[in-house]
Structure 1
């Protein structure tokens, strides 16, 4: 049986996050770094000091000690000590990191300590999350979630700064915990989250989403999901589409197919068993739904997904 818990845990599990922490930035004086566009998510926070975050197409944002930020598939951006500093490419500066730190200016005058991490996802399912995120999420230290996030950034900074046994493992887990707390904070920001991320804060719709994720093999009907939400079928269908962006049963199909793609690429579960695990009474019904959503048969998808692995194993 496929494992399911709640929408956030399930989505992050399917995303197979790969975390790269640091290097951290310590700076003094006049400085500005320009970062190129990148895929997926970058998370950072100010351990000490303040700086500007200038995202292309957005107004500059002033970050203070304890503030955290999350960038989702962002355009190029600049981090700067002052708005009038001339940016230089970050890549060249980052390549000179030593012992997990990049330093700008005299070490004795450093007044900024920024900890950052990059989280990349399995490309096949990355859109489950990245399509829901704006380019920039800011959580201030005085936000209801801000203090907890600041503590996590501090812990992450400590791990980056020491060469202790198991450091990369701790950093990876802290970054994923930080991601979950950032998503919670974003979901709590009025009128900002979209899709299932925002719907989790709606009692009725959230209850239906959690029920679907708890038992994806169940043959869910609109009537059952509406009853869980304590709403009429028409009111539930309208509210679900308004918050999530698609009708409830279409969401169910999309989630089942996301699970199916992951399973086909990673294990040898027979397609007939995978069909039952994702709520289909027959392999043919599952295959029809899979082809409609994914564009190929389950067998074709499995063979294509495993081709790179076979090529790597053969050294080609």
Structure 2
């Protein structure tokens, strides 16, 4: 999991916390990747398009994966207003709705964005909504993390952005663990890590990507026959073992080429290929361009993005590094 999250280059945006009283509803636009939040105090409804409304209570934590528009509301019949201008009016890292003396809700949220080149490694595994209740085996730990994160957002202290960034990523890891334990459907490498045999093979692959792995070796590590290992691996991960190996190698290659850390011949050896030509052929088949073309494209400066006013407020906070929120990347930390 650490390998995958490191490769995703997560960038954390901790938005202002929400404290509210009375009747209210906020509508959030779609946004990429992951949002994580939790209730420190009170209750509210989370209404996600295509899903039944969910009542969140104090101590509950939620994770949204590439979500469609959604609403947070005090009641199901409250008339929602656009969240962006409300978020833009934050003061001292807080958004307040209703009289301060009557506040009965305290919500903390964060947005985690990933490098687009490899974001699908995680986002393809996530449903639009994961809820971890306070009573869940993981719930107490997650509730503590949300409480700590909310406290850090509400104070100005040395190292605050660094603490917020790491707390958000720890929260992400625990949410992913909780999700993998909640579902019985294939969850890719995420769920397979919990399986003794398959997990051992995955850990071996990630520990030595330069090794020329064979199905026989991986099956032996898992203490299974080749046929049983291949069936179990595909059942848990969703793709055959050697296809997973190729996909992971190409994810590493995309990251290295984008950052220009290795020559193509060095990268070929580092990802288990005996020759540069064999690596280039595999890269072109998976990515659709040669390694040299991909690296050249990645070196080009990005085109300026149009500054729209319709996006989610957290997305704008990430782009502008607004002082009402905090954006920190792994490399910066």
- TM-score normalised according to structure 1 size: 0.94
Aligned to 2:296: 303
SS of residue in 2 equivalent to 1:308 = coil
Aligned to 1:63: 56
Q: For the structure 1 residues 176 and 81, does the alpha-carbon distance in structure 2 shift closer, same or farther, using more than 3 Å as the test?
A: same
Aligned to 1:34: 27
Equivalent residues in 2 for 1:1-316, closer than 5 Å: 8-192=1-185, 194-308=187-301
SS of residue in 2 equivalent to 1:216 = coil
Kept in 1, the 8 Å contact 2:201–2:219? The answer is yes
Q: For the structure 1 residues 310 and 84, does the alpha-carbon distance in structure 2 shift closer, same or farther, using more than 3 Å as the test?
A: closer
Structure 1 gaps, min length 5: 1-7, 312-316
Q: Residue 192 of structure 1: CA displacement? A: 4.7
SS of residue in 1 equivalent to 2:23 = coil
Distance 1:56 1:269 in 2: 44
SS of residue in 1 equivalent to 2:212 = coil
Kept in 1, the 8 Å contact 2:222–2:229? The answer is yes
Q: Residue 193 of structure 1: CA displacement? A: 5.4
Aligned to 1:5: none
Kept in 2, the 8 Å contact 1:133–1:193? The answer is no
- 4+ residue runs over 2 A deviation: none
Structure 2 gaps, min length 5: 305-333
SS of residue in 2 equivalent to 1:279 = coil
Paired residues in the alignment total 304
**267-276 or 176-185, larger mean C-alpha shift:** 267-276
Distance 2:301 2:237 in 1: 34
Distance 2:261 2:9 in 1: 18
SS of residue in 1 equivalent to 2:59 = coil
- Quote the RMSD (CA, aligned, Å): 1.3
Distance 2:185 2:36 in 1: 18
Distance 1:284 1:63 in 2: 54
Q: For the structure 1 residues 129 and 192, does the alpha-carbon distance in structure 2 shift closer, same or farther, using more than 3 Å as the test?
A: same
**14-23 or 266-275, larger mean C-alpha shift:** 266-275
Distance 2:145 2:303 in 1: 40
Distance 1:76 1:105 in 2: 24
SS of residue in 1 equivalent to 2:230 = helix
- TM-score normalised according to structure 2 size: 0.89
Residues 166-222 of structure 1, C-alpha deviation per residue, up to 9 Å, x if partnerless? 111111111011000100111111315511111112211111111111111111000
Kept in 1, the 8 Å contact 2:71–2:80? The answer is yes
